[in-house]
Structures are given as C-alpha cells and as structure tokens.
C-alpha cells in the first residue's frame, strides 16, 4: 500500500524546488494533492505533471502572506477533494538583500517574516479546522538549519523567520497533540533549488557554503521531499513537535573534515 493512500494534501510552494518534489512524491504515494503557489504557472505545470503520471492534483494560486488567500486555498482544496489530512508548508523566500544586522532593509525583514513566518501560521490556521473535521492529520513546516545554529554568512531576516517557524511548530504540536493532529518541522541544510541559484552561481559563495557541509555537497530537493513524506505519513505516528534535521551533517560538526 502506498504511504499516503486516501490522504488529501496541500503543498504550498508546490510550484518549485522542494515543494515541487514533495507534490510529485505525495501524489505518487497515493495522495490527492492541491499544488499551491504564488507562481500560478509553476503550480499549474506541477499539477499537470502529476495528472499526466496518473495522479490526482489541481493547482491553486495563493499568497501565503495574505489571510483571505490562505482561506480560499484551504476552502478550494476541501471543496475539490472533500477534506484535508496533510499540509506541507514549503513556500518561502530568501531575498538577496537580506544580510547583516545593520544592512538588512526593514522592508526586507517585514516581507521575509510575512511570507516565511506569518505565512506558515496563516496556512496552519486555515488548515487546522479542516483537518479536525477530516479526523486528524499531519502538518509539516519548513524551517532550516539556521533555526539551530547561526549562519556563516549573515541573513538575519531569513534566520529569524525560520527560528519563528520552528518555535511555532513546537507550540502548535503541543496544542493539538490530543486532537489527532501532529506538527513537525524539517531543518534542511543548503539544497540545490532556485532559492539558492543566484547565490550559488558565484563560485566563492558556493565554496563558502560547501566548506561547512561534512557531506561535501549540497542536498537535493528530492531528499527533503522524502523527509517530508516520512513526517506526513503514518510512518511517523509517534513523532510530533520535532525538528527533523536534514543538513548533510552541518549542525553535527564543529570542524568539517577535509
């Protein structure tokens, strides 16, 4: 039996990178998937890819930072599929002018917090009643290894937003533990996706990151999608409030071996 047979899932940020891989994997594991993204074309092409492979999916345009947009997203998923069991909050941004304490523009801080932190909360806020009405479910949020250790290159807004995601996820997990809803966060290390593409195109910046990864390589989006599948499925039935670290060993290392 596939691991998400009969489950209904929303994947935000499903049009690209980790979210795209997760939407494809969840569908291949039997879930009906609402692929939600601010990039409607990206979400549409992933939903088409799933349908072409024989899966069940449709695309939704959403801005996770906007309350009414997240309400509409959950309402559409429930109206289309008849319930909700899994929410994978993968939408996120990492603007290039996010930097040090003194040089990060306040508007950048506000937008990063609005999408990464508030957006995660708003999607959970809309999804929880639908999940309760469906008999329970699993929420998987995306934090980052920078929620656990300071980044080697300053990106204060992003780091603060991911710390907020991790702390929020733990508290939600406690609040809903006795109501049949689990909530966990994944803390990925640097993953080769469009989010980091501009930064990693610079060989010096790329090396600056690789030097801290014991594996000596970036992660792949599909590797994080598999971690999300574990947390989304009943394979993790006794796991809630956890931070699943998938970072190639970054946070385990004091000095990275040559």
* Residue in 65, 1, 7 with CA at minimum distance from that of residue 31: 7
For position 108 contacting ligand NAD by CB under 6 A, the verdict is: no
Q: DSSP character for 62?
A: -
Catalytic status, residue 176:
no
The minimum distance between CB 120 and ligand NAD, in angstroms, equals: 8
Q: How far apart are CA 26 and CA 20, in angstroms?
A: 10
* Smallest separation, CB 50 to ligand NAD (Å): 15
65 binds ligand NAD (CB under 6 A): yes
Count of C-beta atoms within a 10 Å radius of residue 214 = 16
Q: How far is the CB of 196 from ligand NAD (least distance, A)?
A: 5
Among 76, 134, 159, 193, binds ligand NAD (CB under 6 A): 193
Total residue length of the chain: 258
Residues in the interface with ligand NAD (CB under 6 A) total 32
Task: Identify the residue among 47, 124, 128, 142 touching ligand NAD (CB under 6 A).
Answer: 142
Can you read off the two tokens belonging to residue 133?
């009405």
Q: Please tell me whether residue 18 binds ligand NAD under the rule CB under 6 A.
A: yes
Opening angle at CA 158, ends 151 and 168, nearest 5: 105
CA 199 distance to own-chain centroid: 20
Q: How far apart are CA 231 and CA 183, in angstroms?
A: 8
Quick check: 7 and 18 in contact, CB under 8 A?
no
- Among the residues of the chain, which ranges form H helices? 17-28, 40-52, 67-81, 106-112, 119-133, 156-176, 194-200, 203-210, 221-232
- Residue owning tokens 């899966």: 55
Catalytic hit among 158, 160, 164, 225:
158
- Residue 248 makes contact with ligand NAD by CB under 6 A: no
What is the distance between the alpha carbons of residues 138 and 119, in angstroms, rounded to a whole number?
Answer: 17
Which one of 25, 32, 42, 157 is in contact with ligand NAD (CB under 6 A)? 42
Choices 46-54, 74-82, 172-180, 185-193; region in contact with ligand NAD by CB under 6 A: 185-193
Q: Which of 39, 49, 72, 220 binds ligand NAD (CB under 6 A)?
A: 39
Q: Which of 8, 10, 15, 108 binds ligand NAD (CB under 6 A)?
A: 15
Q: Within positions 153 to 182, which residues make up the interface with ligand NAD, using CB under 6 A?
A: none
Closest approach of Cβ 24 to ligand NAD, in Å? 13
- Running DSSP on this structure, what letter comes out for residue 92? -
> Measured from the CB atom, is 132 or 163 closer to ligand NAD?
163
Gap between the Cα atoms of 138 and 154, Å rounded: 33
x/- contact string, 67-96, with ligand NAD (CB under 6 A)?
A: -----------------------xxxxx--
Binding site for ligand NAD (CB under 6 A): 12-13, 15-19, 37-39, 42, 62-65, 90-94, 115, 119, 142, 144, 188, 190-191, 193-196, 221
Question: Which residues are the active-site residues?
Answer: 158
């Amino acid at each position: 039996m596939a691991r998400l047979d009969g489950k209904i899932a929303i994947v935000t940020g499903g049009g690209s990178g980790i979210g795209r891989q997760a939407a494809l994997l969840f569908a291949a594991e039997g879930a009906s998937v609402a692929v939600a993204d601010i990039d409607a074309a990206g979400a549409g092409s992933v939903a088409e890819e799933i349908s072409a492979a024989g899966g069940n999916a449709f695309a939704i345009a959403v801005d996770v930072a906007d309350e009414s947009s997240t309400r509409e997203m959950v309402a559409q998923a429930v109206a289309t599929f008849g319930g909700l069991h899994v929410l994978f909050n993968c939408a996120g941004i990492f603007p290039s002018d996010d930097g040090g304490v003194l040089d990060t523009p306040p508007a950048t801080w506000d937008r990063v917090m609005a999408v990464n932190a508030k957006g995660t909360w708003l999607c959970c806020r809309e999804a929880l009643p639908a999940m309760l009405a469906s008999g329970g479910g699993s929420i998987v949020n995306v934090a980052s290894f920078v929620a656990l250790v300071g980044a080697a290159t300053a990106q204060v807004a992003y780091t603060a937003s991911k710390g907020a995601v991790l702390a929020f996820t733990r508290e939600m997990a406690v609040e809903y533990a006795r109501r049949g809803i689990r909530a966990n966060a994944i803390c990925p290390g640097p993953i080769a996706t469009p989010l980091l593409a501009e930064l990693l195109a610079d060989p010096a910046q790329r090396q600056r990151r690789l030097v801290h990864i014991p594996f000596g390589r970036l992660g792949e989006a599909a590797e994080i999608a598999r971690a999300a599948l574990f947390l989304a499925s009943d394979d993790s039935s006794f796991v809630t409030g956890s931070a699943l670290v998938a970072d190639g060993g970054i946070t385990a290392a004091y000095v990275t071996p040559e």
